[in-house]
Homo-oligomer: A and B are copies of this chain.
Amino acid sequence: VAKRTSLKDIARALGISEATVSLALNGRPVRAETRRRVLEYVDHVGYTPHPLARGLALQRSMMVGLVCPDTENPYFGSLVKHVSEHMSEHGYSLVLSLSQDNPQREADILKSFVDKSFDGAIVMPLDVRDNPAADFSQFDRFGIPVVFCTSYYASHKATCVRSDYYDGAYQLTRHLLETGHRELWYLVTADPDLPVASERLRGYAQAYRDLGVERSDDWVIPCDEVTSASGYEVVSELVASRPLPDGILALNDYMAFGVVRALHEKGVRVPDDVSVAGYDDVFYSRIAGTPLTTVRQDLDVLAQRCVELLVAQMRGEAPGTDEQVIIPSTLVVRQTTRDRRPG
């Protein structure tokens, strides 16, 4: 268990002062010969500055916190991957903490990030309208920049990067209407006013309007949970009590898988009898038994923009705004939907 070499060691070995070594290492003006000797020695002994000491002196830890609901969910798993990649490109360490569908935990984690003096934080908010437990004023008070990823809380003015849920749902709905679908159910959150749902519903409704197709509010189905199990249950019941629609849209791919399964069990064929579509294009959608029609979010550029915006704020190059950065979504037509036009 050796001790790491410190500036002092280097200074002593080279017969110069710590300050000079520091200057040389940080590319500040020193005699060329001095720099050469320092770099050579540093390379020789494999010295790296102690980040804690550096952070303390510079008041900057080079660490950013990430609050994520759950990496077990491949949607977030993918998002975390991209955030991690882009963050390390900028030289920051990523500290991961999971909110686990618990607003109180989300708030606690956020507070702990402030307490730990991280340089910034990225938050992937839970599906709640606002998190009353989260005291965002803390962030302002100590000046730690925050960027919201995928969604945001109305109570807090911070940058938000998310994909274009409105347009994604619009493209999907329009495509289905144009291929002869008429009655499309939309499985959404219990509270349809949540951003994740409301934006999609806006796109959905707009497509109906643009194409002059009639629509009923009964087709919007609030579900207690946005899970595969929930999609399964809700559709199992619905199919027993209502006539079949032309298609069923789900808030995300997982829910759609549950829907497909429910239909399958009831002897309803997908897409022959009913079309099904999801949202997100998680990896599994491609390789599913019947590959899923869905809307792809470009998680890589989403993460990239998040990181860029946060880094700019941390560097003081840009102020924190409540700007919404919207990333385009793209329709991916696979095999759970089919053309329903007569003839």
Contacts and interface: CB of A to CB of B under 8 A. Distances in A.
Interface string A4-17: 10000000000000
A84 interface: yes
A71 B80 contact: yes
Given A88-B97, A289-B288, A142 B1 contact: yes
A315 to B, nearest CB: 15
A28 interface: no
**How many copies of the chain does the oligomer comprise?**
2
Given A52-B117, A142-B1, A264-B289, A71 B61 contact: no
A172 to B, nearest CB: 22
A50 interface: yes
Interface in A77-97: 77-78, 80-81, 84-85, 88, 93-97
B72 A61 contact: no
Contacts of A264: 289
A240 interface: no
A75 B130 CA distance: 31
Interface of A: 1-2, 4, 48, 50-53, 55-56, 61, 63, 70-74, 76-78, 80-81, 84-85, 88, 93-98, 100, 115-117, 141-143, 228, 232, 254, 257-258, 260-261, 264, 283-284, 287-290
